[in-house]
Amino acid sequence: MEPSSEGPTMESVRLAQNGVGEALWLTARARPDLSRMDTSVTKAPEAVLKAAAQVKGYLLSTEEEGIKFQVEAHEDPILTAYTDASFTPGSQESHGSFVVMLGSAPVFWRSGRQSFVTLCQPQSQS
């Protein structure tokens, strides 16, 4: 999303923030590819508004559609969560991520910088 040539107006930024807020539920749960909208609200609000309108149009035109998660005959319908985090010895922000799986299908995931530093404490040698 490229910034517009003229600076954004307060109104366009607020409208873009509203569009992002409406899309966050969907983004966090099903469309991580749309998550870049939130990082462009103040840089390119017009582009964000266009993307938000496209998402709304798509959702309205496909409201009868859906995703069906089927479990194979030999598979139990198990919900599993996997997590990971980086440890930053140099006092930098740590990175964390997780994915939730229903059977063998990922249904929710997130990855990003943590708002705090995670340090790994060395284990003592006995």
> Sign of the CA dihedral 49, 54, 60, 64?
negative
What pLDDT, on a 0 to 100 scale, did the predictor assign at position 6?
84
What pLDDT, on a 0 to 100 scale, did the predictor assign at position 102?
82
Which contiguous run of DSSP H or E holds residue 85? strand 79-85
35 pLDDT band (50/70/90 cuts)? low
Q: Which residue has the tokens 């994915």?
A: 99
16-25, 36-45, 52-61, 112-121: least confident range: 112-121
DSSP 29-84: HT-GGGGGGGGGTTT-HHHHHHHHHHHHHHHHHTTT--------TTS---EEEEEE
Tokens of 28: 């966090």
Q: Which residue has the tokens 């063998």?
A: 104
Residue range 110-119, pLDDT digits in tens: 888 777 666 6
Residue range 87-111, pLDDT digits in tens: 666 666 777 889 998 877 888 888 8
57 pLDDT band (50/70/90 cuts)? very high
Q: Which of 87, 95, 102, 112 is nearest to 28 (CA)?
A: 112
